[in-house]
Structure 1
Amino acid sequence: MRAVLDEVRFLAFDVFGTVVDWRSSIARAAEPFLTGHGIEVDPLVFADEWRSRYQPSMEAVRTGVRPWVPLERLNRESLETVLARHGVDFGAVTGDELAELNRAWTRLDPWPDSVVGLTRLQRRFPIGPLSNGSIAGMLALARFGGLPWNVILGAEIAHNYKPMPQTYLRSVEAVGLRPDQVAMVAAHNADLRAARAVGLRTVFVARPLEFGPGQTADLTAEDDWDLVTGSITEVADLLGC
Structure 2
Amino acid sequence: MPAPVAIVFDVLGTLVDEPAGLRAAIAAATDRSADGDVDGLVRLWQDHVAAEQEKIVAGRRAFAPSDVLDAEAAALVAERAGITDAAALATASHRLPPWPDTQAGLARLAERFPLIGLSNASPRALLRLNAHAGLRWHQALSAQGAATYKPDAAVYRLAVDVAGCAPEQLLMVAAHAWDLRGAAAVGLRTAYVERPVGDPPTASDRFDLHARDLADLADQL
What is the TM-score when the length of structure 1 is the normalising length? 0.84
Structure 2 counterpart of 1:33: 29
Of 120, 132, 147, the residue aligned with 2:108 is 120
1:143-195 CA deviation, whole Å, 9 max, x = no partner? 11110011112412211101111111132112322211111100111111111
SS in 2 for 1:202: strand
**CA displacement at 1:138 relative to structure 2:** 1.2
Structure 2 counterpart of 1:167: 155
* CA distance in 2: counterparts of 1:5 and 1:52, whole angstroms: 37
* CA distance in 2: counterparts of 1:222 and 1:99, whole angstroms: 42
Q: Structure 1 residue 225 and structure 2 residue 221: aligned?
A: no
Is contact 1:113-1:231 (8 Å) kept?
A: yes
**CA displacement at 1:225 relative to structure 2:** 1.0
The unaligned stretches of length 5 or more in structure 1 are: 212-216
Structure 1 counterpart of 2:39: 44
Structure 1 counterpart of 2:2: 5
Aligned residues: 219
**CA displacement at 1:32 relative to structure 2:** 2.0
* CA distance in 1: counterparts of 2:203 and 2:95, whole angstroms: 28
2:16 maps to a residue whose letter is: V
1:210 maps to a residue whose letter is: V
1:143 maps to a residue whose letter is: A
Is contact 1:115-1:147 (8 Å) kept?
A: yes
* CA distance in 1: counterparts of 2:203 and 2:41, whole angstroms: 28
Tell me: CA distance 1:100–1:87, structure 2 relative to 1, closer, same or farther (3 Å): closer
Mapping of 1:1-241 within 5 angstroms? 4-6=1-3, 8-35=4-31, 42-84=37-79, 86=80, 88=82, 93=84, 97-207=85-195, 209-210=196-197, 217-218=199-200, 223-239=205-221
Identity rate, percent = 36
Q: Structure 1 segments of 4 or more deviating over 3 A? A: 219-222
2:30 maps to a residue whose letter is: L
2:99 maps to a residue whose letter is: W
2:2 maps to a residue whose letter is: L
1:14-60 CA deviation, whole Å, 9 max, x = no partner? 11111111111111111121238xxx962222212211112211123
* CA distance in 2: counterparts of 1:26 and 1:14, whole angstroms: 18
**CA displacement at 1:73 relative to structure 2:** 0.6
1:85-136 CA deviation, whole Å, 9 max, x = no partner? x274xxx72xxx3222111101100000111000100111111211111122
SS in 2 for 1:20: coil
* CA distance in 1: counterparts of 2:130 and 2:203, whole angstroms: 27
User: Which protein is bigger by CA-based radius of gyration?
Assistant: 1
The unaligned stretches of length 5 or more in structure 2 are: none
Is contact 2:177-2:201 (8 Å) kept?
A: no
What is the TM-score when the length of structure 2 is the normalising length? 0.91
2:197 maps to a residue whose letter is: E
SS in 2 for 1:163: coil
RMSD: 2.1
Tell me: CA distance 1:111–1:222, structure 2 relative to 1, closer, same or farther (3 Å): farther
* CA distance in 2: counterparts of 1:128 and 1:221, whole angstroms: 28
Is contact 1:118-1:148 (8 Å) kept?
A: yes
* CA distance in 1: counterparts of 2:81 and 2:208, whole angstroms: 47
* CA distance in 2: counterparts of 1:222 and 1:141, whole angstroms: 33
